[in-house]
Amino acid sequence: MHVISLAAVDFRSYSFVEIELTPGVTTFVGKNGQGKTNLVEAISYCSTLSSHRVSQDLPLVKLNQPRAIVRTGVKYLERTNWLEVEIWPSKTNKAKLNGSECKKTKDILGILKTITFSPEDLILVKGDPGDRRSFLDDLLIQKSPSYAGVKSDYERVLKQRNALLKSAAPAKKNNLESILSTLSIWDDQLINFGAQIIVAKHELINELLPFITKTYTEIAPQSSELSIKYLPNVETMDVNITEVTKAMQEKINLRQQDELIRGLTLVGPHRDDMEITIGQMPAKGYASHGETWSVALSLKLASFDLLKENSPAGDPVLILDDVFAELDNDRRNQLIHRVKDVEQVLITAAVLEDVPKELIGKKLFVKDGKVEEL
Amino acid sequence: MYEGSLQDLIDALGKLPGVGPKSAQRLAFHFLQTDSATVQNLANLLLEVKQKVKSCKTCGAVSETDSCNICNDTRRDVSIICVIEEAKDISSIEKTREFKGRYHVLGGVISPIDGIGPDQLRIKELTSRVTNEEIKEVIVATNPNLEGEATAAFLVRILEPSGVLVTRLASGLPVGGELEYADEVTLGRALKGRRQVS
Ligand SMILES: Nc1ncnc2c1ncn2[C@@H]1O[C@H](COP(=O)(O)OP(=O)(O)OP(=O)(O)O)[C@@H](O)[C@H]1O
Ligand SMILES: [Mg+2]
Ligand SMILES: [Zn+2]
């Protein structure tokens, strides 16, 4: 698939921008802060409904404006789908598919698939478990869009359950009974959605692993083997809904006192993580700067391969945001090799010289919020 | 910004549910251009509803007397109660003509985020109706979303000891949706195909 058109209103630094895109490589060039990343961020928002730079929607909307609008045209074979999202930080977002309003914003997920590789991805290695959870969540949402519903239901239950547990803390005895009487209702819901998430992530990591090992060997042939492992918060011998449901219920019973004291849900996939190891060593804390880049790049290229394998609509759109300046020659060459057959690649760079000549493709210059072909 | 009372009116209207600043302004100017008698009549009606309309002592529906028209209607089946979140859900269910029993308004759903637990809802009133009246079936018609399902699960648990039959609307209602927005046919079907959950 490829994006043929991007239009945005009040998105980041842009009041209005509209560009046409073609298959193959397109490089956005311009000085720092001119709005290159903003453009690719707008495109990837239409595929994940989230940004690779910020977790909240507010910074995506132009300062002092109530909402942003992003519209992309996505073409696969002869068919073009038009995706439109209205981003409202103060209320629920809206989406349109081919001009008609969707019941839920999530309904547009799955049509445009993108993989973005950017310097921010170093947090996949160095960052908190939450950063790795977002990586897995975003990938799962693109792989099977119905996961987005499960995830948001789980988050809602978590919020309700935490509010209930919190109300127990100061109250001591007098309303404890009434809290316990409804707690198990929320337990059931937490387990229902939580087990689905745990099983989905377990499967995702199993599917991703061979792609990651293979990619890393290509990128860093002299290095030890890269491996990833799911660290679920609820462990079972067999990972299936029945087993996980049982184990989660047991762990919840076990931790109930702690949960009541801390006023917080301590059991469930919102506390899981993914372990990344190079040979015998955990990547976090041990990997060198260069290795960290290689790991992050492998995770993203492997995600690309996984989505491609699972998608009837061809290659995802590959976005390389500001990554060439930092990569050494070996990794640049690997990237060139991997990228040259991808249906559409969008590159951003402050200096054209940073981008390997073979990859530049079509050039779009970005200056002061204007995009021009020269 | 306008002067004095006009701006006050716009601000007050803007606080109404579903009315944004633009509509508030449009409404305010509409009142300005309407003749005084019509506006007076509307003002009277607003005060009158506040004074006259209370809730039915039995089911919690809106009523001008202690007992609402539905609770008073002897042709209705007194052995079935349909539990709903808000009084406004009654009209959705009445439109289907599939339900001949009486209602029980909870006044919301369990939602710890909003500080609402069983004690804030008319759940005790429901259990005492089930014990004191000749009730054979309780249909739980809370909305098919997370909080609605949680409330339904809680009611099932609370009503279980009484031995009454508890049922839930059949699926087919849009998940995550609200009764208010379901069409009559879908809601009617959901009522007809209700399943036992107790
Ligand atoms: N919500 C917003 N409203 C207005 N301007 C914004 C908003 N968010 C970001 N900007 C502006 O957008 C510019 C950043 O754009 P962007 O990140 O696309 O730059 P870039 O061209 O990718 O730069 P670099 O080469 O440094 O990566 C900044 O100048 C920032 O002030
Ligand atoms: Mg940038
Ligand atoms: Zn009544």
Ligand 1 center to residue B123 CA distance, Å?
54
Select the residue of A103, A167, A188 nearest B112 (Cβ to Cβ). Answer: A167
pLDDT in tens, A135-184: 999 999 999 999 999 999 999 999 999 999 998 866 556 678 878 889 99
CB of A52 within 6 A of ligand 1: the answer is no
Question: Which strand (E) or helix (H) includes residue A116?
Answer: strand A114-117
pLDDT > 70 in chain B, percent: 97
Phi and psi at A222, nearest 5°, equal -85, -10
Atom of ligand 1 at shortest distance to CA of A13? 5
pLDDT at A169: 67
- Select the more confidently predicted residue: A173 or A42: A42
Q: How far is the CA of B143 from the centre of ligand 1 (A)?
A: 43
Are the C-beta atoms of A248 and A267 separated by less than 8 Å?
Answer: yes
Determine the residue type at B114.
D
User: Does residue A38's CB lie within 6 angstroms of at least one atom of ligand 1?
Assistant: yes
Pocket-testing residue among A37, A67, A371, ligand 1, by greatest number of atoms within 8 A of Cβ: A37
* Cα distance between residue B159 and residue B24, in whole Å: 45
**Closest C-alpha among A82, A80, A67, A72 to residue A39:** A72
pLDDT digits (tens, 9 = 90+) for A268-324: 999 999 999 999 999 999 999 999 999 999 999 999 999 999 888 889 999 999 999
Q: Is the pLDDT of residue A96 over 80?
A: yes
Distances (CA, A) of B114 to A305, A335, B86, B109, B140: 44, 51, 16, 10, 22
Cα separation of A269 and A76, whole Å?
A: 35
SS3 state at B38: helix
The verdict on a CB contact (< 8 Å) between B117 and A178 is yes
Higher-pLDDT residue of A326 and A152 is A152
d(CA B168, CA A156): 22
pLDDT of residue A131: 95
Q: Which residues contact A338 (CB under 8 A, 6 or more apart)?
A: A218, A301
Q: How far is the CA of A45 from the centre of ligand 1 (A)?
A: 16
From atom 13 of ligand 1, which residue's Cα is the shortest distance away? A33
Choose, out of A91, A162, A167, A186, the residue to mutate when testing the contact with B (most B CBs < 10 Å): A186
pLDDT, mean of residues A72-92: 94
Distance CA A241, CA A262 (A): 28
pTM, to two decimals: 0.88
**Between chain A and chain B, how many beta carbons pairs sit less than 8 Å apart?**
42
CB contact under 8 A, A189 and B111: no
- Which residues from chain A sit within 8 angstroms of residue B21, using beta carbons? none
Task: Report the alpha-carbon distance of residue A42 to residue B8 in Å, rounded.
Answer: 40
Among B113, B151, B159, B178, most A C-beta atoms within 10 A, so best to mutate, is B113
Mean pLDDT of the residues in chain B: 91
Counting ligands in written order, the one closest to the CA of B63 is: 3
Q: Which of A261-270, B43-52, B102-111, B185-194 has the lowest mean pLDDT?
A: B185-194
Radius of gyration of chain B (CA): 20
The Cα–Cα gap between A358 and B112 comes to 58
Q: What domains sit in chain A, N to C, each tagged with a CATH number?
A: 1-113+314-374 (3.40.50.300), 128-310 (1.20.1050.90)
pLDDT value of position A214: 95
Q: Is the pLDDT of residue A367 over 70?
A: yes
Tokens of B9: 């009116």
Predicted pLDDT of residue A276: 97
* Amino acid A66: pLDDT: 93
Distance CA A210, CA A225 (A): 11
Do B118 and A160 count as a contact with CB atoms less than 8 A apart?
Answer: no
Q: Is the CB of A48 under 6 A from ligand 1?
A: no
With a 6 Å cutoff on the Cβ, whether A44 touches ligand 1 is no
Distance of CA A303 to the CA centre of its chain: 10
Q: How far is B131 from chain A (nearest CA, A)?
A: 20
Distance from CA of A244 to the nearest CA of B (A): 21
**B62-63 and A281-282 beta bridge pairing:** unpaired
Of residues A50, A45, A35, the one with CA closest to residue A72: A45
Name the strand (E) or helix (H) holding B91: helix B89-96
Q: Which token pair is A320?
A: 């390389």
Cα–Cα distances in angstroms (integers) from residue A96 to residues A57, A70, B186, in the given order = 18, 10, 25
Mean pLDDT of A52-72: 95
Q: Give the pLDDT score at B179.
A: 80
Residues of chain B with Cβ-Cβ distance to A104 below 8 Å are: 176
What residue of B is the nearest CA neighbor of A175? B119
Distance CA A132, CA A138 (A): 10
Question: Which of B155-159, B169-173, B180-184 comes out lowest in average pLDDT?
Answer: B169-173
Pick B154's closest partner by Cβ from A103, A167, A182: A182
- Check if A171 contacts B (Cβ < 8 Å): no
For residue range B115-167, list pLDDT tens digits in order.
Answer: 999 999 999 999 999 999 899 999 999 998 999 999 999 999 999 999 999 99
Give, as one character, the DSSP assignment of residue A225.
P
Domains of chain B: 4-52 (1.10.8.420), 72-196 (3.40.1360.10)
Best residue of B146, B151, B154, B181 to probe chain A, by most A CBs closer than 10 Å: B146
- Which ligand is closest to the CA of A35, given by its number? 1
User: Alpha-carbon Rg of chain A, whole angstroms?
Assistant: 22
Residue B184 confidence class, pLDDT cut points 50, 70, 90: confident
- Closest Cα in chain B to A188: B150
A181 and B115: CB-CB below 8 Å? no
Cβ pair A212, A226 in contact under 8 A: yes
Q: Which atom of ligand 1 is nearest to the CA of A30?
A: 21
> pLDDT tier at B176 (50, 70, 90 boundaries)?
low
Q: What is the pLDDT of residue B61?
A: 94
Other residues' Cβ atoms within 10 Å of the Cβ of residue B163 = 8
Contact across the interface for A160 and B119, Cβ inside 8 Å: no
A9 CA from centroid of ligand 2 (Å): 19
pLDDT of residue A173: 60
In ligand 1, the atom with minimum distance to the C-alpha of A322 is 27
- Does A374 score more than 90 pLDDT? no
| Cα A59 to averaged position of ligand 1 atoms, centre (Å) | 10
Q: Are the C-beta atoms of residues A85 and A105 closer than 8 Å to each other?
A: yes
Q: Which strands form A79-87's sheet, in the order they lie side by side?
A: A14-20, A2-11, A68-76, A79-87, A94-97, A100-101
Does position A61 have pLDDT exceeding 80, yes or no? Answer: yes
Sign of the Cα pseudo-torsion (A257, A258, A259, A261, in order): positive
**Which residues are paired to A70 by β-bridges?**
A8, A85
Q: How many CB atoms lie within 10 A of CB B165?
A: 15
Task: Decide if A163 and B118 are in contact by the 8 Å CB cutoff.
Answer: no
Pair A282, A195: CB distance under 8 Å: no
Q: Please give the pLDDT value at position A333.
A: 87
Q: Do B146 and A189 touch (CB under 8 A)?
A: yes
Query: What pLDDT digit, counting tens, does each position of A182-193 carry?
Result: 999 999 999 999
- Ligand 1 and A87: CB distance under 6 A: no
Q: B113 and A159 in contact by Cβ < 8 A? A: yes
**Cβ count near A139 (within 10 Å):** 24
Q: How far apart are the first and last CA of chain B?
A: 58
In the numeric block, which tokens belong to residue A117?
Answer: 């590789």
Tell me if B146 and A156 make a contact (CB, 8 A cut-off): yes
* Alpha helix positions (H), A14-85: 36-48
One-letter amino acid at A323 equals V
